[in-house]
Every structure is written in C-alpha cells, then in structure tokens.
Amino acid sequence: MKVFVDQDRCVASGQCVFAADGVFDQRDEDGIAVVLDDSPPDDRRAEVQDAAAGCPAVAITVEG
Ligand code: SF4
C-alpha cells in the first residue's frame, strides 16, 4: 500500500490525522497534511482507507 497526499488540494481539516495518526500529520505552520509513513503496514489499511474516504478535499490517494 502506498499513500499520497495532494498538498495543493488539502484544506488542513485534520480528519486524516484523527483517522490514521502516525501515517498522516499536519504541518505546524499551516496545517497542511504530510505523509509520515507512505508505506504503512497492511494492518493499518482500514484506518488509511477511512482517512481517504473522510477527506473533505479528496486529497488522499491509496494505491495497492
Ligand atoms: S483530511 Fe484531507 S483536507 Fe484534511 S488535513 Fe487530511 S489531507 Fe488535508
């Protein structure tokens, strides 16, 4: 599984961090999401998919 965030789309809502803390974080300066772990283990798949589904900006892509 590979995880990407389109930072140009991100609106800094923070849901992804709530859904999958440790995979996503927010920049201190503006709250834009960053991917901390772009290849998370498979046992986190449900959390990552919840984060992608819950992103109001549809900024998260999950491949594989
Ligand atoms: S849920 Fe989407 S819009 Fe909100 S911080 Fe995460 S990537 Fe950005």
Q: How far, in Å, is the centroid of ligand 1 from the Cα of 23?
A: 12
Q: Measured in angstroms, how far is the CA atom of residue 12 from the centroid of ligand 1?
A: 5
CATH number at residue 11: 3.30.70.20
Q: What is the pTM of this model?
A: 0.96
pLDDT per residue over 24-42, tens digit each? 999 999 999 999 999 999 9
**Total number of domains constituting the chain:** 1
Place of tokens 């992103």: 55
CB of 49 closer than 6 angstroms to any ligand 1 atom: no
The Cα–Cα gap between 14 and 41 comes to 21
Q: How far is CA 43 from CA 6, 48, 57, in A?
A: 23, 10, 25
What mean pLDDT, rounded, does the chain reach?
98
Domain that holds residue 21: 2-63
Is residue 40 within 8 A of residue 15, CB to CB? The reply is no
57: nearest Cα among 1, 2, 5, 3: 5
